[in-house]
């Protein structure tokens, strides 16, 4: 017999809010973790993006803070996430239920105006959803006091560590109330994440809810050997397919270049990387969600933690840096029990290198040498001839343009992790500009 939200300890008001949102039965991650989250236990869960974990920890917080009075500058709950996009997704997911529970929330992330965030916290908020960089900035400005935080959630903890935020995460946890509840959700529970568990959690209950990455057996994996002269046309044909596609490039310049080339061929594609304004990044994701675009070109950093339904094909324009990055990219597809296809484009001379990487990732791909009009390319990806009529993104509303001009002054270092030195500037093994790696240094992420 399946459990209901009420059976798990969720009060009637929140059950009604969930029903209104079309959520009638809990996901496995919610069934497993909600009783512990509501009871105040320290909680350690391995779960992937898209598994339903936002409601798992979010409902636990809302039940405990329902109709709780607020105090200026002093939130009682903190949700820490690695990226602005994920912070926005968490906020959007929890907001209607927070309103039903009489709980005030505030989103705190880089790329958004300081003044509004500071004023909201000064007035008082129960829960702050934050990226480590912006929250650290506000703490240093005296705009927020974390000493009364009694529930802290670390969402996508492994990604925060991978992005270089571990020192800031530790500083933030040191400022919260000693002995308070901590809940940690992560795709992996080793390395730096294990260090956080040992230092900041007390007898946590552990839930192993998913493998570290989306199961590779639910995907088809392919390496396509493409001559550099054919890469632009191959990309345009793949991007013209039916269905949603994510293309991964190594650098910001590569994302911009590929997006522009696809648009020129008639493909409705958007680009996502850390150098774009928050308003543009938000609109890009919304365009994909709404079907305005069908292709997204992104860097690894920008795509971390993003959950977009219906991605049926992942194309790695630049091979990933390692097996972990391969699995992260592949995990954008084959979600919620669906299947997906992962294609890695490679120069013929780099075949052995890419095969070694996929082997380390536990994948045995099919290797095919392709030209733009080959039947094999169409069979695997659904590639077809692009229209050739340049595509232009619909102009944003005047209010959105104003937000882009006035609310952002370049990507903040504090929200992109510590500076790691200059990026490498050469394309791997003869790849031309479509690969995103031209002849000069380009910014990653």
Which three-class secondary structure string do you get for the chain? CCCCCCCCCCCHHHHHHHHHCCCCCCCHHHHHHHHHHHHCCCEEEECCCCCCHHHHHHHHHHHHHCCCCCECCECCEEEECCCHHHHHHHHHHHHHHHHHHCCCEEEECCCCCHHHHHHHHHHCCCEEEECHHHHHHHHHCCCCCCCCCCEEEEECHHHHHHCCCHHHHHHHHHHCCCCCEEEEEECCCCCHHHHHHHHHCCCCEEEECCCCCCCHHHEEEEEEECCHHHHHHHHHHHHCCCCEEEEECCEHHHHHHHHHHHHHCCCCEEEECCCCCHHHHHHHHHHHHHCCCCEEEECHHHHCCCCCCCEEEEEECCCCCCHHHHHHHHCCCCCCCCCEEEEEEECHHHHHHHHHHHHHCCCCCEEEECCCCCHHHHHHHCCCCCCCCCCCCCCCCHHHHHHHHHCCCCCCHHHCCCCCCCCCCCCHHHCCHHHCCCCCCCCEC
pLDDT of residue 13: 94
Asked whether residue 415 is assigned to any structural domain, the reply reads: no
d(CA 313, CA 407): 34
Q: Is residue 419 part of a domain?
A: no
Residues 194 and 297 in one domain: no
Contacts of 441 (CB under 8 A, 6+ apart): 422, 423, 424, 425
For every one of its 445 residues, what pLDDT tens digit does the chain have, with 9 covering 90 and above?
Answer: 578 999 999 999 999 999 998 898 898 889 999 999 999 999 999 876 666 889 999 999 999 999 899 999 999 999 999 888 889 889 999 999 999 999 999 999 887 888 989 999 999 999 999 999 999 999 999 999 999 999 999 998 888 888 889 999 999 999 999 999 999 998 777 778 888 999 999 999 998 875 544 455 568 999 999 999 999 999 999 999 999 999 999 999 999 999 999 999 999 999 998 788 878 888 898 899 889 999 999 998 766 666 777 889 999 999 888 888 888 888 788 665 567 899 999 999 999 999 999 988 888 899 999 999 999 999 999 999 999 999 998 876 655 444 433 333 333 333 444 444 434 333 333 333 333 433 344 455 6
* 53 and 109 inside one domain: yes
Measured distance CA(365)–CA(346) in Å, rounded: 13
Question: Do 275 and 172 belong to one domain?
Answer: no
Strands 295-298 and 244-248: what pairing? parallel
Task: Note whether residue 377 is domain-resident.
Answer: yes
Q: pTM for the whole thing?
A: 0.67
Q: Which residues contact 118 (CB under 8 A, 6 or more apart)?
A: 138, 141, 143
Same domain, 39 and 183: yes
> Does the residue 403 lie in any domain?
no
284 and 179 part of one domain: no
Residues 382 and 284 in one domain: yes
> Is residue 140 in a domain?
yes
pLDDT at residue 397 in the model: 62
Chosen domain end from 177, 208, 239: 208
Other beta carbons less than 10 A from residue 374's beta carbon: 17
Residues 45 and 119 in one domain: yes
Is the separation of the CB atoms in 344 and 356 below 8 Å?
no
What integer pLDDT is reported at residue 345 of this predicted model? 96
User: What's the structural domain count of the chain?
Assistant: 2
Asked whether residue 57 falls in the same domain as residue 101, the answer is: yes
Buried b (16+ CB within 10 A) or exposed e, 36-48: bbbeebbbbbbbb
Does one domain contain both 106 and 149?
yes
Say which residues have a Cβ less than 8 Å from residue 385's Cβ, sequence separation at least 6: 237, 240
Q: Does 260 lie in the same domain as 242?
A: yes
User: What is the domain extent for residue 19?
Assistant: 12-208
pLDDT of residue 337: 54
Do 174 and 251 belong together in one domain?
no
- 102 and 56 in a single domain? The answer is yes
Interhelix angle for 53-65 vs 12-20, to 10°? Answer: 140
pLDDT at 445: 64
Q: Which of 156, 180, 208 is the last residue of a domain?
A: 208
The pLDDT value recorded for residue 47 is 74
pLDDT of residue 184: 94
pLDDT at 28: 87
Count of Cβ atoms closer than 10 Å to residue 376 Cβ: 15
69 located within any domain:
yes
* Cβ atoms 84, 278 nearer than 8 A: yes
Domain stops at, among 154, 183, 208: 208
Spell out the residues 6+ positions from residue 39 whose beta carbon is closer than 8 angstroms to its own.
9
Token code pair at residue 232: 């632009």
Contact 328, 304 (CB under 8 A): yes
Is 269 domain-assigned?
A: yes
Report yes or no on 74 lying in a domain.
Answer: yes
| Count of C-beta atoms within a 10 Å radius of residue 17 | 19
**CATH code of 163's domain:** 3.40.50.300
């Amino acid at each position: 017999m399946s459990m209901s939200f009420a059976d798990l300890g969720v009060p009637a008001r929140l059950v009604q809010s969930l029903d209104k949102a079309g959520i009638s039965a809990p996901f496995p991650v919610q069934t497993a973790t909600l009783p512990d989250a509501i009871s105040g236990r320290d909680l350690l869960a391995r779960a992937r993006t898209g598994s339903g974990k936002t409601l798992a920890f979010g409902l636990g917080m809302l039940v405990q803070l329902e109709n709780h009075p607020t105090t200026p500058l002093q939130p009682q709950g903190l949700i820490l996430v690695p990226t602005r996009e994920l912070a926005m997704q968490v906020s959007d997911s929890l907001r209607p239920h927070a309103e039903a529970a009489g709980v005030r929330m505030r989103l705190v992330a880089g790329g958004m105006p300081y003044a509004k965030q500071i004023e909201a916290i000064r007035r008082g908020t129960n829960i702050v959803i934050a990226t480590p960089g912006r929250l650290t900035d506000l703490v240093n400005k005296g705009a927020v006091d974390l000493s009364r935080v009694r529930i802290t959630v670390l969402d996508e903890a492994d990604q925060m560590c991978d992005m270089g935020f571990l020192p800031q995460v530790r500083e933030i946890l040191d400022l919260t109330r000693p002995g308070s509840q901590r809940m940690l959700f992560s795709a992996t529970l080793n390395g730096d994440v294990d260090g956080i568990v040992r230092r900041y959690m007390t007898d946590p209950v552990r839930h192993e809810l998913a493998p570290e990455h989306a199961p590779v057996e639910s995907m088809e994996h392919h390496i396509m050997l493409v001559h550099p002269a054919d890469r632009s046309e191959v990309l345009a044909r793949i991007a013209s397919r039916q269905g949603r596609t994510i293309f991964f490039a190594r650098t910001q310049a590569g994302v911009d270049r590929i997006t522009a080339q696809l648009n020129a061929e008639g493909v409705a594609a958007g680009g996502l990387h850390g150098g774009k304004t928050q308003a543009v990044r938000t609109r890009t994701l919304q365009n994909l969600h709404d079907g305005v675009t069908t292709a997204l070109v992104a860097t690894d950093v920008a795509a971390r933690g993003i959950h977009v339904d219906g991605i049926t094909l992942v194309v790695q324009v630049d091979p990933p840096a390692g097996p972990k990055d391969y699995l992260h990219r592949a995990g954008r597809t084959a979600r919620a029990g669906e299947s997906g296809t992962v294609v890695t484009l490679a120069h013929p001379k780099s075949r052995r290198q890419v095969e070694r990487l996929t082997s380390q990732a536990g994948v045995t791909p099919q290797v095919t040498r392709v030209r733009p009009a080959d039947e094999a390319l169409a069979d695997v990806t659904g590639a077809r001839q692009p229209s050739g009529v340049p595509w232009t993104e619909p102009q944003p509303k005047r209010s959105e343009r104003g937000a882009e001009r006035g609310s952002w002054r370049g990507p903040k270092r504090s929200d992109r992790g510590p500076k790691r030195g200059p990026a490498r500037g050469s394309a791997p093994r003869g790849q031309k500009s479509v690969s995103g790696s031209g002849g000069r240094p380009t910014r990653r992420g």
